[in-house]
Structure 1
Amino acid sequence: MTNTTFSVDKIALRRFLLSKQALLGLEQSPVPDPLHMVKKLECVQLDPVSVVERNQHLVLAARIPGYDPKQLDDLLEEGKVFEYFANAACVIPIEDFPMFKPTRERIQRKVAESLEQLGLVVDAVIEQLKSEGPLPSRAFQSEKRVHGYWDNKTPKTKETSLALNLLLDSGVIRVVRRDRTERYFDITERTVGADLLKKTKAMDETTARALLIEKYLRAYRVFDPRDARFGWQKLTAAERREEVEKRVASGSVTPLEIDGVKRQYYMLTKDLDELGTFVQDVRNRDSVNLDDALTFLPPLDNLLWSRDRIKDLFDFDYKWEIYTPRMKRKYGPYAMPILWGDRLIGRMDPQIDRKNGVLIVRLLQLEPWVEKTTGLQIKLREALEKFAVFNCAADVRIENSDVKMKL
């Protein structure tokens, strides 16, 4: 083990990162199942936006040939994964449940007053779940409207829906099933295995926090302590630096010196040997196999969690513009980066016309340096057709593109 700085070319580093993200060529033998992939990635981010299929399914579809969204829904119903806050709201392997104990306790303290204000409504929701669960939100009747998470000035949220959200965030209840867009809730303590509950109760805060930081480091692989989400805990900048410096001193984390990159990154020391194989490939001028399928990455893909890292390693500026005012958008509300080999070569902004079964490509634009070869045009066409099929569309319509191709 060494805690000295490791010098590396950013081409080798991004290939290593893509490999860890299961994006440097698809895992073909055997074809990975969704549970294997969630464990490999540590977690997959959830998002309700449905311009096309939802983020969690797009993440898995980009990595697993023939992936079906029902597969992830089945894992949730079978109790092999759970939903909670990691990088944000995420799907997480169920065996990691105990290490999120401090997160649940922190949120419980935060929402205690709001739950108390709801009073008997909360008690009624819990009793109904105990007697009838699992239940969707629509199963709870409430005439009164209150300010919910997404309301502005006018109260629009049912009292029972707010109670469900607060209980969900605090970990008292959890999502145990999804029927596509509809979530079903149940009491956490009776839906998590006895062994896991025992481990959770025995888990002390120091151990849980350390395990959660290690999980974060494995998920990111190439990390920067300036990330406000570092360790998926509420850490100050000084605490984040201290956690990294402590691991550098112990030899478990190594500082990186990346050619052409000013920002200081780190990685797990145990990954250096694997990184070394990519360093050697670059020295031998080995190129990535561009026969691999071209891939569209959703805005909240694990690879894209750090926009600074994408800029530094891939020379690619990316911003999710869904919350950007329409007139200020440059690429579109759901523009998806296009990955080919070890480069991000452009963006594709899709929308599904579900009524007519059409994938509408509002924009398909490549970076200025990309050579628009016939081979690339074929890859783009194949990728668009595959993306359309995954999104249950029978046709593709391109509205604006700087690439000429026949569909």
Structure 2
Amino acid sequence: MSLRIENLSLREVQKLVLLSQRLPASKFVGTARNATLTAIEHLGYIQIDTISVIERAHHHTLYNRNPSYQAAHIQELIADKKVYEYWAHAASFLPMVDFRFSLPRKHAIASGKQKHWFKQDAKLMDLVTARIKAEGPLMAKDFDKKGIKFGEWKTAPTKQALENLFMQGELMITKRVNFHKVYDLTERVLPSSINTTTPTQEEYGRFLITNYLRANGVGTLQEMTYLLKHTKAIVTGALKQMLVHGEIAQVRVADSDYYVLPESLELLNKPLSRKKLHILSPFDNLLIQRKRTSAIFGFDYLLECYVPQHKRKYGYFSLPILWNGKLVARMDSKVDRKKEIFHIHQLTLEASLKNKEKFAAALNKELKSFLMFNKCTAVRLHTTSPSSFQEYFEQSYPELLS
């Protein structure tokens, strides 16, 4: 029989989401690297992004789940075959224990049922595979022909072949060198102990539901299938079965219905530390679905690096700030790596933020750690909105100012 909880308040759902996202981070036992692996396995994926105006998104997201995080952890976990690269809703680091659940997408791309960006050139793909088989792991540049240049938005044919082979599962990424992918045959990368059986549709649907709800607290069908092609029917069928057997429950929040794991509701009995402030990546798992962020936290967010400069309101790369259990501000940031200065070009507070003095103290306390994470020794605050907040900031920890 299905379990149904009639109502949860918005504040309760916010708490449930944050505790499920492990913000703030849970205490860990063991090594810092194991804590990083635990975070990846719990969240299900960590999105990779190329933007590097501050520390890259995957490092940033893990830093917020593991205070002892080090950038070397990911490559070490890949080398240990505990983590691998593939596609979630975007390019991501994924836990190796879940490898078999990447197979439905790979098979769909290989069979042509699901399209990828590049057309498949079977002859070139065979040649690329043969070289890697004979020579060992290779990068795209190892296939480049000297003197041939491609336009800004064009990709070399051999790189397209590598990406197609990667997306359909014949190649995997063994590591990155200066952020360039190194490809090898999947059979040489996978640990021998890993389960490589293709999940049934029911197994796949149950995995998508359980994986999402464990990491996010609550979710809708649209959220659980976000940017995952051809999965809505599969997830819909699994939801019906799991509801009947009481494996998931439904909750109503305001005028919306969400699904939840019954055991996750126990998190509502745990305290949520609201003093800790988090400076979040635009690609953080908490924020990646903007409509959800707006519905649950009342925070409308747009990453404006993709917006023409004259249309930007908050800046090129504004970082949402979580404090007191709410998203209360955003700061447009950039690192000057040569001078080791962290620039806050614009810090904008939400109108709902009332206790600016306590917020300023919490922000400056977190900035001490965040500057170290970004290999900076000083911060320079350029403008604030409202402008009066700059005084609170400067009075809190003046030793940080450059």
The separation in 2 between residues aligned to 1:24 and 1:117, in whole angstroms, is 44
* Residues 1:112 and 1:295: Cα distance change in structure 2 (over 3 Å): closer
Partner residue of 2:257 out of 259, 264, 267? 264
| Residues 187-202 of structure 1: pairs in structure 2 closer than 5 A | 187-196=185-194, 199-201=195-197
Contact 1:83 1:175 (C-alpha < 8 Å) held by counterparts = yes
Q: Which amino acid aligns with 1:220?
A: N
Matched, 1:248 2:243: yes
Q: Look up the match of 1:284.
A: none
| Residues 42-57 of structure 1: pairs in structure 2 closer than 5 A | 42-57=44-59
> Is the partner of 1:351 in helix, strand or coil?
strand
The separation in 1 between residues aligned to 2:243 and 2:149, in whole angstroms, is 49
- TM-score (norm. length: structure 2): 0.87
Partner residue of 1:304 out of 283, 287, 299? 287
Partner residue of 1:217 out of 209, 213, 217? 213
> Is the partner of 1:195 in helix, strand or coil?
coil
Q: Look up the match of 1:285.
A: none
Deviation, structure 1 residue 28: 5.7
Partner residue of 1:229 out of 222, 225, 231? 225
* Residues 1:201 and 1:251: Cα distance change in structure 2 (over 3 Å): closer
Partner residue of 1:365 out of 348, 351, 362? 348
Q: Deviations over 1:145-196 (max 9, x none)?
A: 7989x82xxxx32221111111111111111112342221111122102232
Q: Deviations over 1:199-230 (max 9, x none)?
A: 32464454344434432333333101133835
Contact 2:128 2:158 (C-alpha < 8 Å) held by counterparts = yes
Deviation, structure 1 residue 62: 1.0
Q: Deviations over 1:113-163 (max 9, x none)?
A: 998853433222112211222222221233697989x82xxxx32221111
Structure 1: which 5+ runs fail to align?
Answer: 282-287
* Residues 1:219 and 1:22: Cα distance change in structure 2 (over 3 Å): closer
Contact 1:254 1:269 (C-alpha < 8 Å) held by counterparts = yes
Q: Deviations over 1:334-357 (max 9, x none)?
A: 211101131111101111122322
Partner residue of 2:138 out of 135, 140, 145? 135
Partner residue of 1:316 out of 299, 315, 323? 299
Contact 1:230 1:240 (C-alpha < 8 Å) held by counterparts = no
Matched, 1:164 2:162: yes
Q: Which amino acid aligns with 1:130?
A: K
The separation in 1 between residues aligned to 2:166 and 2:95, in whole angstroms, is 17
Contact 2:274 2:324 (C-alpha < 8 Å) held by counterparts = yes
* Residues 1:231 and 1:7: Cα distance change in structure 2 (over 3 Å): farther
Q: Look up the match of 1:71.
A: 73
The separation in 1 between residues aligned to 2:175 and 2:207, in whole angstroms, is 27
Contact 1:146 1:157 (C-alpha < 8 Å) held by counterparts = no
* Residues 1:240 and 1:323: Cα distance change in structure 2 (over 3 Å): farther
The separation in 2 between residues aligned to 1:176 and 1:33, in whole angstroms, is 22
Q: Which amino acid aligns with 1:381?
A: N
The separation in 2 between residues aligned to 1:370 and 1:264, in whole angstroms, is 28
The separation in 2 between residues aligned to 1:209 and 1:249, in whole angstroms, is 15
The separation in 2 between residues aligned to 1:383 and 1:319, in whole angstroms, is 23
Matched, 1:126 2:142: no
- TM-score (norm. length: structure 1): 0.86
Q: Look up the match of 1:178.
A: 176
Q: Deviations over 1:13-37 (max 9, x none)?
A: 2112111111035526666621011
Instruction: State the 4+ residue runs in structure 1 displaced beyond 6 angstroms.
Output: 111-116, 144-148
Contact 1:98 1:208 (C-alpha < 8 Å) held by counterparts = no
Contact 2:84 2:173 (C-alpha < 8 Å) held by counterparts = yes
Matched, 1:14 2:14: yes
> Is the partner of 2:163 in helix, strand or coil?
helix
The separation in 2 between residues aligned to 1:202 and 1:354, in whole angstroms, is 45
Partner residue of 1:387 out of 356, 365, 370? 370
Contact 1:24 1:341 (C-alpha < 8 Å) held by counterparts = no
The separation in 1 between residues aligned to 2:200 and 2:28, in whole angstroms, is 40
The separation in 2 between residues aligned to 1:205 and 1:225, in whole angstroms, is 16
Matched, 1:341 2:324: yes
The separation in 2 between residues aligned to 1:171 and 1:351, in whole angstroms, is 36
> Is the partner of 1:370 in helix, strand or coil?
coil
Deviation, structure 1 residue 231: 9.1
Contact 1:310 1:316 (C-alpha < 8 Å) held by counterparts = yes
The separation in 2 between residues aligned to 1:252 and 1:147, in whole angstroms, is 52
The separation in 2 between residues aligned to 1:5 and 1:378, in whole angstroms, is 39
Contact 1:129 1:135 (C-alpha < 8 Å) held by counterparts = yes
Contact 2:44 2:215 (C-alpha < 8 Å) held by counterparts = yes
Q: Which amino acid aligns with 2:331?
A: M
Q: Which amino acid aligns with 1:249?
A: V
The separation in 1 between residues aligned to 2:51 and 2:117, in whole angstroms, is 27
Q: Deviations over 1:263-303 (max 9, x none)?
A: 2212112322333x15xx7xxxxxx54443x1111111111
Q: Which moved more, 1:202-211 or 1:66-75?
A: 202-211
> Is the partner of 2:4 in helix, strand or coil?
coil
Structure 2: which 5+ runs fail to align?
Answer: 395-400
Provide the alpha-carbon RMSD of the alignment: 2.8
Deviation, structure 1 residue 97: 0.8
Contact 1:316 1:344 (C-alpha < 8 Å) held by counterparts = yes
* Residues 1:5 and 1:231: Cα distance change in structure 2 (over 3 Å): farther
Contact 2:7 2:252 (C-alpha < 8 Å) held by counterparts = yes
Q: Deviations over 1:353-383 (max 9, x none)?
A: 2232221112111111213443321221222
The separation in 2 between residues aligned to 1:15 and 1:96, in whole angstroms, is 27
